[in-house]
Structure 1
Amino acid sequence: MSIVAMDLTRHVNTFGRYLREKYGEKVHKISVNAAFTCPNRDGTKGIGGCSFCNNASFSPASTKAGDITQQIQEAKKTVSERTGAKKFIAYFQSYSNTYGELDQLKAYYDEALADPAVIGLAVGTRPDCVPDPVLSLLASYQDQGYEVWLELGLQSCFDNTLERINRGHGFGDYADAVNRARALGLKICTHLIMGLPGEKPSDTLTSFKKVIDLGIDAAKIHPLHIVKGTQLAREWKQGQVKELTMEEYTDNLARIIRMAPKGLLFHRLTGSGERQYLLSPDWVMKKWDVLGMLYNKLEAQA
């Protein structure tokens, strides 16, 4: 099936469509790297990070830590030439982007929003790194009319899985963060990974149901990537990690989409990462094949 013929918005409430309808034009997220770390790397809770995490494999290769204004200017030029977008959301993506002193966080966010073409923030972080003052800061930008998204990396609702992948937090931390963010009216996007060690693909449906029962606005679903330089890669080489197939992924993703509340947005339906780091599975690099298989399944079940 051609890309032109495949219209996933027939079945999926996509983030791109939401932004276009709200703002009347294309709005594009651009990644910003403010050189954050996380408590699972700096020794506060652990070192080495999550077992699946080599952040370079998930962040755009073009995004290097440094001057935020310069990053935004360069990204705007590149994205505008490719997509025609004139409005942008600054996506603080790498590591835990609320993990720092409040004054420093505000300085970073303010610098991104100083560009008149930047209409909002998407802030990726861990659920154990969002104290009330940080949530209040993010809510203050929303109160000023900016598009603000708190992106919480949960990955799984199962505490035994979170322990196995060395997350350093449990589902209770996530539930607490969601409840406090919702009390301030913040929009929440939750990240889940399908195919984690010890889980069946269908277990992600359980995680999804638990997060929508708590109340979220959007989800990002991602197939497990086994990438170089991680503990997970070492386990995979020893035959301890079962690889997720594209059939399994799209089967269960279609089920997730069908069970989603009507107003729930999907910020992402798959992910490809960086080829130079990927060990397995190879199919995650074939984004349009994945989306095409998903589309066919949704069409067949319509």
Structure 2
Amino acid sequence: MPEFYNNNMLRGEVKGIPTERRIDKRVMDQMYEEGFLYMKYGAYARRTHGCKIFKVPMNAGFTCPNWDGRLSSDGCIYCPDFARQFTYESFRRVITKDIREQVEDQIDYYKRKGAGEKALVYIAFGTNTYKPLNELKRIYDATLDHPDVIGLTIGTRPDCVPREVLDLLGSYVNEGYEIWLELGQQSVHYHTEERTNRQHGLAECIRTIKECHKRGILSLVFLILGLPYETPSEMIETARVISEIKADAVKIYPLLVMKGTRLAREYETGGYRPISMTEYASLVADFLEHLSPYVLIQRISKDCGLDGKVVPEWDTHRFIVGPRVEKILMIRGTKQGAKYKMGLDVEELKPISAGVTASDVL
């Protein structure tokens, strides 16, 4: 059994909702016995919290160091220009009142739709740990200031989570909140990160997940399948690496080519070929088979309503893609973790990390 589960099987309450464990392997085993082919987060959360949980997306005016010039002014090759709207003006004008109003309005909206009983606030736009600590505390405190909020989910880059921010998030865990850090890793392969202008590697992700474990913070890794320059075997290797660095959950997306991006220009000149729906569904099934059975799956596709999408032309909505993936797994007679190989040694990690050995960070 992975060390993390041993260290965190703690009884307690998350904001008044009884829960036996932060990550409960026994619940997962029961779900597989019931016939689940992969570990769906929504179904898992309903069992561990005793009610339906929904996410409340909000914008707190964060920018990104890969846009604002600190690391780069170009962003990742697939990142559209609309990300710039979250830079300087909104960076300055966000105040606590705005955030509380966003949370209250969103919770009212989702409850009217019957989305669930309790909420996780999801700060989704930009790099949401990329501000001074006192500003972060003001924002996070405001998001949690609602009786129906049980916790906070924060999207960020793995290289933008300093220790003092981790300590702040850990303090919320100690107060009984469920805190998730969603790390935009996209790929574990250094050559992919370099060519897509990510401006970080795998080592930062490993370090941040380790620090999350120490504080009871739950970690999720964003991954993209279909990135240029990456082979199917490398995408499967990503599943193995994510399992071994003990991420608690993943979100898997197909690569979207958006108007105005460098990737769009590459696509228009024939330098990038998008994968088909059939290829993507098969890749997701392969990925799940090689992933640890105890990693939660929060998404396996991208609900994209953006007008700026160039390709893929097929519908990427999870309600379209999900059944296709499950059908493939059923035909194969497999499920998540069916081909999982426990263990990843230092020599296997070296070519992935490009100069940073596993012993440096594991």
Structures share a fold, TM > 0.5?
A: yes
Distance in 2 between residues matched to 1:90 and 1:98, nearest whole Å: 15
Match of 1:190 among 210, 214, 221: 221
Cα distance change of structure 1 residues 9 and 34 upon mapping to structure 2, 3 Å threshold: farther
- What SS does structure 1 have at the residue aligned with 2:105? helix
Per the alignment, residue 40 of structure 2 pairs with: 14
Compute the displacement of 1:110 (Å).
Answer: 0.4
- Does 285-294 or 245-254 show the bigger shift? 285-294
- Give the gaps of 5 or more residues in structure 2: 1-33, 84-89, 334-362
Per the alignment, residue 96 of structure 1 pairs with: 127
Per the alignment, residue 353 of structure 2 pairs with: none
- What SS does structure 2 have at the residue aligned with 1:267? strand
Instruction: Describe the superposition over 1:5-52 as per-residue Cα deviations: whole angstroms up to 9, x where unpaired.
Output: xxx972121111121112211110111110101111111110121111
Cα distance change of structure 1 residues 9 and 41 upon mapping to structure 2, 3 Å threshold: farther
Amino acid at match of 1:277: G
Instruction: Describe the superposition over 1:215-253 as per-residue Cα deviations: whole angstroms up to 9, x where unpaired.
Output: 111111110000112111111111111211111111121
- What SS does structure 1 have at the residue aligned with 2:180? strand
Cα distance change of structure 1 residues 203 and 252 upon mapping to structure 2, 3 Å threshold: same
TM-score by length of 2: 0.76
- What SS does structure 2 have at the residue aligned with 1:10? coil
Distance in 1 between residues matched to 2:35 and 2:59, nearest whole Å: 30
* Pairing 1:258-273 to 2, within 5 Å after superposition: 258-273=289-304
- What SS does structure 2 have at the residue aligned with 1:83? coil
Cα distance change of structure 1 residues 36 and 79 upon mapping to structure 2, 3 Å threshold: same
RMSD: 2.0
Amino acid at match of 2:149: V
- What SS does structure 2 have at the residue aligned with 1:283? coil
Amino acid at match of 2:54: H
Distance in 2 between residues matched to 1:274 and 1:9, nearest whole Å: 32
Moved over 3 A (4+): 284-287
Per the alignment, residue 150 of structure 1 pairs with: 181
Q: How many residues align?
A: 290
Matched, 1:159 2:190: yes
Distance in 1 between residues matched to 2:271 and 2:323, nearest whole Å: 30
Per the alignment, residue 27 of structure 2 pairs with: none
- Does 37-46 or 252-261 show the bigger shift? 252-261
Amino acid at match of 1:264: V
Instruction: Describe the superposition over 1:117-166 as per-residue Cα deviations: whole angstroms up to 9, x where unpaired.
Output: 11100011001100000011111111111111111110011111111111
- What SS does structure 1 have at the residue aligned with 2:321? helix
Per the alignment, residue 129 of structure 1 pairs with: 160
- Give the gaps of 5 or more residues in structure 1: 1-7, 58-63
Which is higher, the Rg of structure 1 or of structure 2?
A: 2
Greater relative CO (CA pairs within 8 A, separation 6+): 1
TM-score by length of 1: 0.90
Distance in 1 between residues matched to 2:246 and 2:159, nearest whole Å: 18
